[in-house]
């Protein structure tokens, strides 16, 4: 299977995943994963594992699923799925990084392409059904679950299991990438241990990563042999890599977000409200309190947490605090001042979570113009950021600029490769009353030209669908 055919298949799957209710674009978790992912990708390129051609032509995009099952998986075209469950059970950044490095290596070594080529009978739609099924595992997501029917899909699912040699190769290459990026190689071993111990405790399928990645004694011994001899010094992370404390906060976030039971939230709220609660427990308590509708308590916990964490974790806590202040409810005395100050520093930040939260705060404080200017600048640099486009659309509506608002909404659909949805909105923009349309001739010209672009993209998309 050629690189471009693999990418096309991956793009099609990605389009379906964006619409899947299990798909989660949480900017805070996304920023954290990028802090792990970008150094891994850079190391893989530097080491020649990802040659320039592959770096350019595959997506190298992470997609998060709300799934509680401990899993991560490589998909065709350079897309990687990461479940909240994986973040929730890990204790250190290098543990997640080791799983990402392993999956990255399945992609860079073209294992998926090799499997698809080997299994010629596996039609791309079967592959699609299977990947979506993996994404929806543990949920009752109707469409995806129903897609896996018939014996051919089952056969395909079994044949996607990588061979032992491929697993070994992904371990070997992944270990080099992990340590090359500056992470502690011990992450591979502790992750293995964690999976192995957890699998002894529960056999309820919550660890699908083990089904696709059986932990043979060989694999563990191999990994241990790669580690330096002698006791490991407690290594401090390379500058720029996330700290253990940052990981603990994100892991707590994933734990709460993947949980639907109010009883668990109540337990976490009580644990994290104790005077000597750890930073992770306090984070989980604040978010649980918000889920339980106890907003004031959530804000108080986040403020305590702010004084508890190191400077590297401060932005993560500030993001939480903004999120809580922005959730429905009136602001107490002084909280409006706090929100305004968080807004100003967030708008000046280069982190995606901060930019998006800063823009929301600008909208909440009646300053849509500031949201528009920051989001526009951001969308130029990140044209595939659907959330930024959607927020820009809201800000434009708040300004009363309907034409701009509809066009930004269309761009959000383009960003998720939903060209039919985008075209519908561009047509609606062109059909606005003349007084609205003609108020901004430049924007109208952009709408006209984007419509032509999107029509071509849609044609191409439909032609590909017919060929497959």
> Which residues contribute to the site for Zn ion (CB under 5 A)?
167, 170, 213
Spatial contact of 24 and 157, defined as CB atoms under 8 Å apart: no
Least separation in angstroms between CB 9 and Zn ion: 19
How many of the other CB atoms lie within 10 Å of CB of 110? 16
Least separation in angstroms between CB 117 and Zn ion: 18
210 or 364: CB nearest Zn ion? 210
Please count the CA atoms within 13 angstroms of the CA of 420 that sit on its side-chain side: 3
219 or 266: CB nearest Zn ion? 219
Q: How far apart are CA 117 and CA 420, in angstroms?
A: 31
167 or 409: CB nearest Zn ion? 167
95 or 167: CB nearest Zn ion? 167
Least separation in angstroms between CB 315 and Zn ion: 32
Rounding to the nearest 10 degrees, give the CA dihedral for residues 373, 375, 378, 379. -110
Q: How far apart are CA 228 and CA 305, in angstroms?
A: 37
Least separation in angstroms between CB 42 and Zn ion: 21
* Three-state SS at 63: strand
Least separation in angstroms between CB 66 and Zn ion: 22
Strands 61-65 and 72-74: unpaired
36 or 170: CB nearest Zn ion? 170
Q: How far apart are CA 223 and CA 46, in angstroms?
A: 22
Least separation in angstroms between CB 86 and Zn ion: 13
Spatial contact of 331 and 339, defined as CB atoms under 8 Å apart: yes
Least separation in angstroms between CB 97 and Zn ion: 15
213 or 417: CB nearest Zn ion? 213
Least separation in angstroms between CB 56 and Zn ion: 24
Backbone CA torsion sign across 83, 89, 93, 94: negative
C-alpha 386 chain-centroid distance:
13
Instruction: Estimate the crossing angle of helix 244-258 against helix 262-272, to 10 degrees.
Output: 150
Q: How far apart are CA 437 and CA 2, in angstroms?
A: 45
89 or 107: CB nearest Zn ion? 107
Query: Which residues pair with residue 411 across a beta bridge?
Result: none
Spatial contact of 82 and 251, defined as CB atoms under 8 Å apart: no
167 or 318: CB nearest Zn ion? 167
Say which residues have a Cβ less than 8 Å from residue 247's Cβ, sequence separation at least 6.
32, 90, 91, 92, 93, 96
Tokens of 307: 């004084």
Least separation in angstroms between CB 102 and Zn ion: 6
Least separation in angstroms between CB 162 and Zn ion: 5
213 or 394: CB nearest Zn ion? 213
Q: How far apart are CA 155 and CA 121, in angstroms?
A: 10
213 or 291: CB nearest Zn ion? 213
* Three-state SS at 334: coil
Q: How far apart are CA 31 and CA 26, in angstroms?
A: 9
Residue 161, phi-psi category: left (phi > 0), alpha (psi -120 to 50), beta (remainder): beta
């Amino acid at each position: 299977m050629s690189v471009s055919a693999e990418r096309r298949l991956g793009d099609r799957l990605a389009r379906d995943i964006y619409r899947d209710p299990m798909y989660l674009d949480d900017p805070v978790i996304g920023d954290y994963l990028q802090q792990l992912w970008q150094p891994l990708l850079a190391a893989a390129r530097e080491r020649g594992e990802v040659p320039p051609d592959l770096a350019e032509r595959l997506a190298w995009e992470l997609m998060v699923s709300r799934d509680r099952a401990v899993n991560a998986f490589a998909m065709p075209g350079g897309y990687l799925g990461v479940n909240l469950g994986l973040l929730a059970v890990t204790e250190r950044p290098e543990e997640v990084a080791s799983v990402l490095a392993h999956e990255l290596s399945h992609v860079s070594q073209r294992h998926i392409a090799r499997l698809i080529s080997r299994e010629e009978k596996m039609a791309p739609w079967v592959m699609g059904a299977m990947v979506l099924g993996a994404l929806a595992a543990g949920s009752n997501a109707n469409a995806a679950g129903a897609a896996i029917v018939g014996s051919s899909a089952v056969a395909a699912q079994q044949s996607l299991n990588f061979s032992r040699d491929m697993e070994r190769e992904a371990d070997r290459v992944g270990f080099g990438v992990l340590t090359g990026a500056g992470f502690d190689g011990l992450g591979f071993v502790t992750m293995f241990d964690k999976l192995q111990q957890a699998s002894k405790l529960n056999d309820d399928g919550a660890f699908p990563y083990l089904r696709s990645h059986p932990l043979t004694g060989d694999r563990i011994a191999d990994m241990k042999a790669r580690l330096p001899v002698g006791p490991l010094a407690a290594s401090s992370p390379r500058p720029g890599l996330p700290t253990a404390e940052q990981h603990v906060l994100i892991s707590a976030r994933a734990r709460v977000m993947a949980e639907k039971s109010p009883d668990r939230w109540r337990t976490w709220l009580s644990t994290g409200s104790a005077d000597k609660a750890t930073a992770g427990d306090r984070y989980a308590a604040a978010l649980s309190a918000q889920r339980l509708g106890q907003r004031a308590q959530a804000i108080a916990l986040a403020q305590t947490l702010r004084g508890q964490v190191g400077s590297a974790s401060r932005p993560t806590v500030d993001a939480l605090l903004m999120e809580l202040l922005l959730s429905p409810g009136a602001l107490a005395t002084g909280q409006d001042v706090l929100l305004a100050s968080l807004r100003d520093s967030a708008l000046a930040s280069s982190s995606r979570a901060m930019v998006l939260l800063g823009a929301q705060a600008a909208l909440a404080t009646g300053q849509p113009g500031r949201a528009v200017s920051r989001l526009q600048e951001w969308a130029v640099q990140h044209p595939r950021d659907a959330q930024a486009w959607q927020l820009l659309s809201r800000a434009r509506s708040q300004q009363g600029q309907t034409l701009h608002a509809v066009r930004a909404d269309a761009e959000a659909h383009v960003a998720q490769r939903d060209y039919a949805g985008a075209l519908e909105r561009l047509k609606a923009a062109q059909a606005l009353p003349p007084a609205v349309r003609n108020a901004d001739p430049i924007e109208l010209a952009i709408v006209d030209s984007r419509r032509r672009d999107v029509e071509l993209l849609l044609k191409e998309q439909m032609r590909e669908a017919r060929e497959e």
